[in-house]
Structure 1
């Protein structure tokens, strides 16, 4: 028995295989986010590399105020010129001004606008100045041709109180207003009146002769409007029903004007921007339901405005990458 006490105890250890569970794919999501962020980063580096300091300041301002809407005092908070900002009402002009009246832009004081995105004039080369002058000459000539065509056309002369032509920093602006008992479109519709088609065809005959791109915007008054519903598809593929409001109406009217101009001979590649502003950019702020707030604005853009539009499109693309 004494020998048995000297025996060592036997320990049996069992190892069970397959103890590790299935690993998840969370790292793939993180990696995909990293790759997307890097792509956006290099897009941003590319955009910064092709612009100077003034342009970069403009892009910075754009992200602070993407809509380009003017702030208090009427000054735009964005250094990038956008159609919406330049189409803000310019004082309380009466809508019955003669079409032959052209608003002259006040001469800039030395150094006053040096920080704007259109560049410092002091650094302009002789070639750039020549291009600017030639561009202005083309638009001035276009303005005179349009005014002459309206005066000489018996069918258009009676509508000249609903037309306003002027030269803006963006180019030649043509505004067609509603008038009491003489609207441009059917009530609450994007269907043009026959006389509005004639006006647009006459405008098309002139602007089709130049290579400049054009911007078309639709505007409504502040009267609440609701006509049926529109079916949209959200990011998850689900269909949602939203009311048809002044936003949809103004955009549809701008598109109707675009199609009519194309029928009148304007080239497809001339169309640069088509947008609906609803009642966000009123012509007559004192009377938000005034007929003059219902209008179509066509801008024959100059070189600077076209460049700024392309720059804005580039900023929009980068912003979309950064926010998705």
Structure 2
């Protein structure tokens, strides 16, 4: 027997086992989420421990209050059937929503800044313009509750108007026409008032008095401002105050009491005037009125308003 026939072939069979499943890490994600939630919880608890007890009560009241009540105010109990408490679409607390009073205060602040800027601009114009600089002693600027006031006062040797009339002197015309365009730079309206001293007309108060004279002078100042380039719709009112508001109360006959007062009205003053004008009954028909006649220049006593 040959060697090939007698040799034995040995075959080893190995049973292949099942492969082990890959390890799953989903539990790690869940654990991480849990730890994050716990950290956030303890962080909130720590922050609440720093809040004073009175503030904690306010916070608790906020979460117990319906959403619409927290925003607009009202009863603290919600009787509605909506899913969102109070039916409001926002969760912004009332304290974070600008109230009407806050908006009004902000508008007043911007109005004050605008008028203050106009005051600085006029002061700079007076210093740089040769015409206005010459009359610097007769120009007074100050802030009043109604707005920025520009007063042009009389001097004994340099009156603004002809004696006993509303005829504008040449130098006052130049001053008003230089100021007119400046008032166009802001949207605020203008109020113009005329003032006289306490000296009365010799003919008394029946025909033509200081009241008519002061009103005519205020209107004459309006005409010069408009002629200088100021927009006429900016005029809110024309006043004739005679000697009722003296600049020097101890000396009502002083020359400085004769003046033109121009007030650049602030927002609240304009609203107040508009409400006063709207308070009366509406007028549906006006009869034709006669054309006003020019007031005569009447003699007065010693001084000239």
Specify the TM-score bucket, using the shorter chain as the normaliser: 0.5 to 0.7
Describe the SS at the equivalent of 2:171. Answer: helix
Which residue in the other structure is 1:314 paired with?
278
Give the C-alpha shift of residue 124 in structure 1: 5.2
- The 3 A distance-change label for structure 1 pair 205 and 227 is farther
Per-residue Cα deviation, 1:97-120 (whole angstroms, up to 9, x for no partner): xxxxxxxxxxxxxxxxxxxxxxxx
Describe the SS at the equivalent of 1:166. Answer: strand
Distance 2:133 2:212 in 1: 31
Which residue in the other structure is 1:263 paired with?
227
Which residue in the other structure is 1:300 paired with?
264
> 1:247-258 to 2 correspondence within 5 Å?
247-258=211-222
Distance 1:294 1:305 in 2: 24
Which residue in the other structure is 2:200 paired with?
224
> 1:67-146 to 2 correspondence within 5 Å?
125-146=101-122
Per-residue Cα deviation, 1:66-89 (whole angstroms, up to 9, x for no partner): xxxxxxxxxxxxxxxxxxxxxxxx
Is the 1:226–1:244 Cα contact (8 Å) retained in structure 2?
Answer: no
Distance 1:139 1:296 in 2: 19
- The 3 A distance-change label for structure 1 pair 206 and 184 is same
How many aligned residue pairs are there? 187
Structure 1 or 2, whichever has the larger Rg, is: 2
Describe the SS at the equivalent of 2:143. Answer: strand
Give the C-alpha shift of residue 205 in structure 1: 1.8
Which residue in the other structure is 1:273 paired with?
237
Distance 1:228 1:155 in 2: 38
- The reply to whether residue 287 of structure 1 matches residue 251 of structure 2 is yes
Give the C-alpha shift of residue 314 in structure 1: 2.3
Which residue in the other structure is 1:164 paired with?
140
Of residues 194, 215, 219, the one that matches 2:191 is 215
Is the 1:226–1:243 Cα contact (8 Å) retained in structure 2?
Answer: no
Per-residue Cα deviation, 1:148-186 (whole angstroms, up to 9, x for no partner): 101111222121111100111101100000011101111
- Structure 2: 5+ residue stretches without partners: 1-98, 284-305
Distance 1:170 1:227 in 2: 36
Per-residue Cα deviation, 1:234-281 (whole angstroms, up to 9, x for no partner): xxxxxxxx4111111101000000111111111121000001011111
- TM-score, normalised relative to structure 2: 0.58
> 1:178-197 to 2 correspondence within 5 Å?
178-197=154-173
- The reply to whether residue 154 of structure 1 matches residue 118 of structure 2 is no
RMSD: 2.3
Is the 1:226–1:245 Cα contact (8 Å) retained in structure 2?
Answer: no
Give the C-alpha shift of residue 211 in structure 1: 1.3
Which residue in the other structure is 1:199 paired with?
175
- Relative contact order, higher structure (CA 8 A, sep 6+): 1
- TM-score, normalised relative to structure 1: 0.55
Describe the SS at the equivalent of 1:249. Answer: helix
Describe the SS at the equivalent of 1:275. Answer: strand
Is the 1:254–1:296 Cα contact (8 Å) retained in structure 2?
Answer: yes
Describe the SS at the equivalent of 1:218. Answer: strand
Give the C-alpha shift of residue 125 in structure 1: 3.1
